[in-house]
Amino acid sequence: MNDTGEKHNARLRQRLALPTVVKAPGVYDALSALLVEQAGFDCAFVSGAGIAFSRYGRPDMGLVTASEVASTVAAMRERVDIPLVVDMDTGFGNALNAQRTLREFERAGASAVQMEDQTFPKRCGHMAGKGVIPAGEMVGKIHAVVDARADERTVVIARTDALAINGLEDAMERGERYLEAGADALFIEAPGTREQINRIGERFGRRTPLVYNLLEGGNSPISTAAEVEAAGFRVALFPVALLHAIVPVMQALLRTIAAQGSTVDQQPAMLDISRINQLLGAPDLLGVAERYKGDH
């Protein structure tokens, strides 16, 4: 846990001011957030897709509600001190809905929110068939969210999905308008070529933190955080990398259990109950409980 007394959103702002890229793994529950914190990352990305995949067994198609995201963030914040960048989707409605969502996410423990200009219900930025609202409507929603912050240090990231629909010029013009409206960082989703990536980085990279999505199987022509940094971007998201990795492991283990009725063959690669209790802090909790036992 952080021992400087400095709030998580202030620490995130300080980190974003540095020139080196921020690697932000996607998290979806308190355990994944704890593992990211224990691994020493500067922040984690609370992925709406990750919550949809893991908690509800559904694709990223706008099926998760604001209150469900907020409850997930609150569970993470109770367990970790690492800054959390929270996927806010479209704000879950109009400008008034976006304001309420922002306040709820701040109370839950968000350090930053990422709001996009897709039509509602949204879908994964790397899926076909998405739409975007008029730029002016998104500008109004950004103003609303900025005005609603209880803490001005909470970072507002404006995302546009217009590139795949209207082209790069519209996406970059939207980026200009969103920054003018008060966004603290910019996310132009799913550039499909290195030329597009370079043009975005050249136009915005020296002026604001730029976010890039490193999605396995997505449309990105680059694949490493080093390439993201070289192109002028500041944040490299790995939104569902943990889930993409763990699902095949779970499937393989289930096949073993079905075939053998045992996990013995897999146990060298597994944690046992003692090791997972150690990882999760059981000895510390037992020590706290001992202090409160009282006299008998």
- Evaluate whether 149 touches 156 at the Cβ level (below 8 Å): yes
pLDDT at site 296:
60
Q: Dump pLDDT digits (tens) for 24-81.
A: 999 999 999 999 999 999 999 999 999 999 999 999 888 899 999 999 999 999 999 9
Q: Is residue 218 part of a domain?
A: yes
Around Cβ 118, how many Cβ atoms within 10 Å?
23
Are residue 53 and residue 197 in the same domain, yes or no?
Answer: yes
Are residue 175 and residue 252 in the same domain, yes or no?
Answer: no
If one counts the domains in the chain, the total is 2
Q: Dump pLDDT digits (tens) for 145-169.
A: 999 999 999 999 999 999 999 999 9
Are residue 169 and residue 264 in the same domain, yes or no?
Answer: no
pLDDT at site 1:
44
For residue 146, the domain's CATH number is 3.20.20.60
